[in-house]
Structure 1
Amino acid sequence: MKKIVIASDSFKGTLSSIEVCHIIKEGIKKIRPEIHTYEVPIADGGEGTLEAFLNAVGGKKVVKTVTGPLFDKVEASYALLSDGSAVIEMAQASGLLLVEGKENPLETTTYGTGELICDAIEKGCRKIIIGIGGSATNDGGVGMATALGVKFLMANDEQIVPTGEGLAMLDRIDVQSLNKKIADCEFIVACDVDNPLYGENGAAYIYAPQKGANEKMVKILDENLKHFAGIVHRDLGINLQQYKGAGAAGGLGAGLVAFVNAKLKSGINILLDTVDFDHLIMDADLIITGEGKIDGQSLRGKVPIGIADRAVRHHKPVIAVVGSIGDETEALYERGIHAIFSINQRPESFDIAKKYSKDNLFKTVESIMRLISVIE
């Protein structure tokens, strides 16, 4: 064995993707120092997206004070890449971590994400990649679009409050004041889910409970998104319900499609194309990937499956090293993952296990390399 490519997501709440890749490299080198390793920290549009792109392409972070999800002021970062494009992680401005203890998707807004987009445009960016994982919102992206100049009006011509609750009052949409520079921009949305905007598999029913919504709130939010989609269809001629991923980030996916003509793409594939991953693995003997938890949901565009799909094209073996292994993993083997290893050394709660994640990850990779050395 001469070359191993390490391409892992973060272990959310524990280790960044950069840390995971580095620890895996150290585990490999302890047993087989002669093996060439290549690290590709991965993110699929959620936590770590900025760092992953900066690591891949180079550039700098920009810090800006924007409107947080509860209309307070927060500091948010985005990336200006060396190729002139920008990467925005919506969770920086509109994320769930910013409302800890005050979760209520009826009252949250994506306005701050729109302010980050405006800032990137004013700095000359004409290609903007937006990662939309980890949101605290369910406003259909009207907050974001309001920041860009779109007017969402009530019957009395006053503007609605751009929140999930405010959508109920929407009567018509006026795009005449939309930032004119947007017409010259390309927007790519890094999206790791394929949920529709509304309905039983939509933004509200699937994700709003994670953001603090009870059963009654979920029903209201879903009805409001359906109402919003109807107004968009009438006023703009766009059928948002037909777009896979429109329900991502509480409907921000839909808002980006409707108001900036964004393309919704697999987050991991955007990054893999950026680093020319197919070329990187051409001469690899093994690919090691990973994420915090792997289960049947990983089939819906998560990092390990994105890696496996690329590996299958070139007949490369893939090992997944993960924090925990959930249900319905058999299908993962059919997609190109050859083996899955959990780093946990003993049965214990996450609060305890996360304290030992670095050591446990290192030890697990060390054991894998010892096994490979025996059977080679």
Structure 2
Amino acid sequence: MVQHVLVAPDKFKGSLTAAEVARRVSAGLGVPTVELPVADGGDGTVDAAVACGFDRVTIEVTGPTGERIPASYAWQPAAGTAVVELAEASGLRRLPGDHEPLTATSYGTGELVADAVRRGAKRVVLGLGGSACTDGGAGMAQALGARLLDAEGNELPRGGAALKALDHIDMSGFVDISGVEFVVASDVDNPLLGSHGAAAVYGPQKGATPEDVRTLESALSRLAAVATQTHGLLGAVEHDDRPRPMGVAGAPGAGAAGGVGFAALAFLHADLRPGIDYLLGLLGFDALAVDARLVITGEGSLDEQSLRGKAPIGVAQAAARAGVPVVAVCGRRTLADAELKAAGIEAAYALTDLEPDPERCMAEAGPLLERLAARIATDRLGGNR
């Protein structure tokens, strides 16, 4: 059997999708390859699933500031599996203008989930990352039929700040999710509240001022308190016997995507898994690595953030279990050789090695990647092309 090179990169953000990176690397190698675009649950997760054989389902949903937009999720009919990417409906890239930290909503993500459930999904994988909202997943819950009410019985407007007035939650109209498994794929382990929580850590990235952060922290705290008191959520996700002294709000990952992780745990009873590890399993990485002679992974920037559960490190760990060497391609890198080797990556090839101008690297990423791949073939494949 002719051994192949497994090309499993993430996207080069702002330049190439993961599928485009894989295609360019394959073209430059000149050897048999298998292309497996990957993602870690954030931007590009749906695209990666579609590139690996899932169908794309596109519907109209509510964007983060209320406008109607087209958004997609990935669908595998045979298995009844849907891959929903929060960034598709509720991401920063969906903002029509300025950030709206107090009023941005995850409602559109709930509409994607609801459509997948109505389609007959047996498993919904929810990729969290790149969100524009800090609403604790309240919008997602509203789209699924939850009514968030104030003391007078009026429905709250969408957005995180409005949750300060939350008095009770009516779940009588919630969509029937019996028989549906929900999995949150995320590399974020922040809790919902506190100095490491959704508002404090991620709010400023979404345009929140210090005063906005205090408002959102108070609002999310109210959501957690009401949900816990009225729905017994302290025990709702403790079926796996992991200690969670602060209940769902304190669970690792509850703060993901502005607190959408909290709503997924609390209202969907989701299991939270490391994003890249779970998605590699879903996309069949292990089987494709069996006969590989080399794995090539990568992303736009190999830096300190990469070491915190990003796609290339997950790919390297999975390849190590299969006994296959790994190299990476990237736009730029700030990690030293020793750091890369400790993470399981033998070498990294950066576009900036060929072109020092970052703007040209972005504009000419495709051709430069092909040149890098040719260099990898010479260095790593023994000239056996």
Q: Following the alignment from structure 1 to structure 2, what is the Cα–Cα distance between the partners of residues 274 and 170?
A: 38
Structure 2 gap ranges (5+) = 234-246
Summarize the Cα distance change of 1:374–1:279 in structure 2 as closer, same or farther, 3 Å threshold.
Answer: closer
Summarize the Cα distance change of 1:148–1:47 in structure 2 as closer, same or farther, 3 Å threshold.
Answer: same
Partner of 2:328: 320
Post-superposition shift, 1:137?
0.6
Partner of 1:372: 380
Summarize the Cα distance change of 1:221–1:123 in structure 2 as closer, same or farther, 3 Å threshold.
Answer: same
Contact 2:204 2:213 in 1 (8 A): yes
For 1:173, give the aligned amino acid.
I
Post-superposition shift, 1:327?
5.3
Match 2:355 to one of 346, 352, 367: 346
2:182 counterpart of 1:187: yes
Match 2:131 to one of 119, 129, 135: 135
Percent identity between matched residues is 41
Post-superposition shift, 1:57?
3.5
Contact 1:85 1:125 in 2 (8 A): yes
Partner of 1:32: none
Partner of 1:45: 41
Q: Following the alignment from structure 1 to structure 2, what is the Cα–Cα distance between the partners of residues 363 and 139?
A: 45
Cα offsets for 1:69-111 (capped at 9, x unmatched): 1112111122222322222222221111121432122110111
Match 2:150 to one of 151, 154, 157: 154
For 1:355, give the aligned amino acid.
A
Q: Following the alignment from structure 2 to structure 1, what is the Cα–Cα distance between the partners of residues 70 and 187?
A: 25
For 2:366, give the aligned amino acid.
K
Post-superposition shift, 1:20?
0.4
Partner of 2:213: 218
Cα offsets for 1:34-62 (capped at 9, x unmatched): x3211111011122212221232332x22
Contact 1:296 1:329 in 2 (8 A): no
Partner of 2:238: none
Partner of 1:241: 249
Contact 1:294 1:329 in 2 (8 A): no
Post-superposition shift, 1:320?
1.2
Post-superposition shift, 1:2?
3.8
Contact 1:143 1:163 in 2 (8 A): yes
Contact 1:56 1:274 in 2 (8 A): no
Post-superposition shift, 1:330?
4.5
2:169 counterpart of 1:173: yes
| Worse-superposed segment, 198-207 or 322-331 | 322-331
Structure 1 gap ranges (5+) = 30-34
Match 1:63 to one of 46, 49, 58: 58
Match 1:361 to one of 369, 375, 385: 369
Post-superposition shift, 1:375?
8.6
Summarize the Cα distance change of 1:326–1:199 in structure 2 as closer, same or farther, 3 Å threshold.
Answer: farther
Q: Following the alignment from structure 2 to structure 1, what is the Cα–Cα distance between the partners of residues 217 and 98?
A: 21
| Worse-superposed segment, 251-260 or 261-270 | 261-270
Cα offsets for 1:94-140 (capped at 9, x unmatched): 11112143212211011111112222222222321222222111100
Partner of 1:258: 266
TM-score w.r.t. the length of structure 2 is: 0.90
Contact 1:10 1:17 in 2 (8 A): yes
TM-score w.r.t. the length of structure 1 is: 0.92
SS of the residue corresponding to residue 315 of structure 2 reads helix
2:285 counterpart of 1:277: yes
Q: Following the alignment from structure 2 to structure 1, what is the Cα–Cα distance between the partners of residues 112 and 24?
A: 33
RMSD over aligned Cα, in angstroms? Answer: 2.0
